[in-house]
Structure 1
Amino acid sequence: MKFFSSVVLVALPFLGLNSAFAADPWSNHPIKFVVGFGPGGANDTVARVVAEAASKQLGQPIIVENKPGAGSVLGADFVAKSAPDGYTFFVSAGGIVTNPMIKSSMPYKEGDLVPVGMLAISPSIIVVSADSKINNMKDLLVLAKDPKGLNFSTAGTGSTPHFVAEMLKVKGGGKYEIIPYKSGSEGMVAVISNQVDATSEASVVVIPQIQGGKLKAIASTWNKRITALPDVPTTKEQGYPEVFIGHWAGVFAPKGTPDAILEKMNHAINAGLKTAAVQSRLTPQGIEPSPGTRASFTKFLADEKTRLEPIVKRANMKED
């Protein structure tokens, strides 16, 4: 009997050790998604929908925290300086690629944030007022060559509509008066009221105005038509593949976060994006879920940088 007791006492520590090795240390408490914009926008909407779906895959809540400012740089910097333990992630927009090109200085290095996965894309839709004589890309570029030229509203230097205007310049030539507003919504209102001829904004922003008969969609600037606007052709279909850009969202982690955690988060995000619940909430708004591997997201970012950097230099884009 004494021998049996000794065996049990010796075995118990080993049982505990094996259990510790078997347990997955991540994730065992709530995770944070930091959004570099205020609540209610497209980036915030995507973050919240995906956070809810991915949390179900991981078995831990994912809390969305908004840290707006400096074109999303404040939020990115916060995450770049966070502990690389897999509990703080950054939900980015395209500014994570273009901000270093446009701003004179950055508080963090590009390598301080590592790609985890793409979330979704809201293509930029080129729009004119509902009563405009412009009906397609050809009409738009013809107007740009008129002596009066084309007035095009943007959301400021380096915004997606600014890039669209510069792409149009390169492709079609002509005269462009690029008019910056404080936000994409203000630029859109300027088109509705015929203060300017055209703009290009995220599908999620313009779809309600298109459906309400206040705006006319000329083209989608992505490489395929979107579910919410199936009748709107792409710029590529109309012969202008160089006019290509979208409002996208992706997830990044602080440099040094273990690969195993990055892979697990990528899988959780992808599984969430493929659910009917996520697709039914995003696609009607013009937001296309875009699951993919870490490698495919890394390649997308490199391609965006290669494609957009010459435009920044040619247009001499500087921070406002």
Structure 2
Amino acid sequence: MTYSSTFDIYQKWFQAPLEDTVMNKRNLCPVCETQSGNSKFSVPYDSSKVKDFFDEFFGERQGIENRVDMSYFEGESLVIRYCAHCHFYWHENILGPDGMEKLYEEWIDAEFSKQRRDDWDRRGRMLEKTFYPPDFFKGVKPPGELRVLDIGMGWGGYLQAMNYWGAETHGVELSEIRRKHVSRNGVDVHESVEDVTGEFDVIALHQTLEHLPDPNKTMVSVGELLQKDGLVHIEVPRIREDPTKENVLKKSGFNPPAHINGFTRDSMLELTKKHGLSPISPTPLFRKNVGEYGIKRKLRRILNITGTLWIYDRFAGEQPMPRFFTLEQ
């Protein structure tokens, strides 16, 4: 793939007005587009802490030598800003089109990424999202009549699960390696959302919005492609605390340089409302406590059995991250 074609694909897929430079700067809040942001965290990319993180995250963790080319970050800092208006976090300095191709095609090892998606634990969570679609999509269409679009489909696990129920599946993915893999499994694949035609009953953005330079422009496409009575299913890492050197340079929702957006509940509601979407309550399948693990999940289960769940919700619970949306009527 040539540099020029990479630039064209990146511009189309991410729908971002980016310059043909090594790094791009985002000064306005990418969600509410105001200037109410202030810096919450800053560290030079050439600091030992960032280099150590890259060595671990892109090297040891993947079982390979770290392939990150630090020349892309020369003279730049990892700056995370926070919007006081919509409570959104974002990376101010992000990679340009050439760097993004390097990140997703080289620095993130394809074999390691696919292995993670294939392990049984992740398969179980994927099945949890789709195991009873006849119940979940009741009132939309029978599963066999659904048109499903996954934007940022990765290795296509969600679409393969929907194929099981007979849905017509379409996916959008920047990575050529992943597109080729998914196309062999009966999915209609596209390199850009601009190439997708028709309307869809279900549009999924699973672990996608945190990677996009301009989430608003992607949500415009979602609104144009969604059927009147369709559903949008969004999954993103939830940010619960301000960035620090301890939580940014670890496995977290702030992971540089890939996770360039950090969503809170408020900022997700701001983004979706801006594009005419309203959240719907989770069904029993999509439990309120999804995402809670360890002691909190065990405690919630015990209180549920004993009929005293209100104690947990009153003192230990939190409002769930909205995940399912419909067009406002």
TM-score normalised over the length of structure 1: 0.29
RCO comparison, higher one (Cα < 8 Å, 6+) = 1
TM-score normalised over the length of structure 2: 0.28
Whose radius of gyration is greater, 1 or 2?
A: 1
Greater share of helix: 1
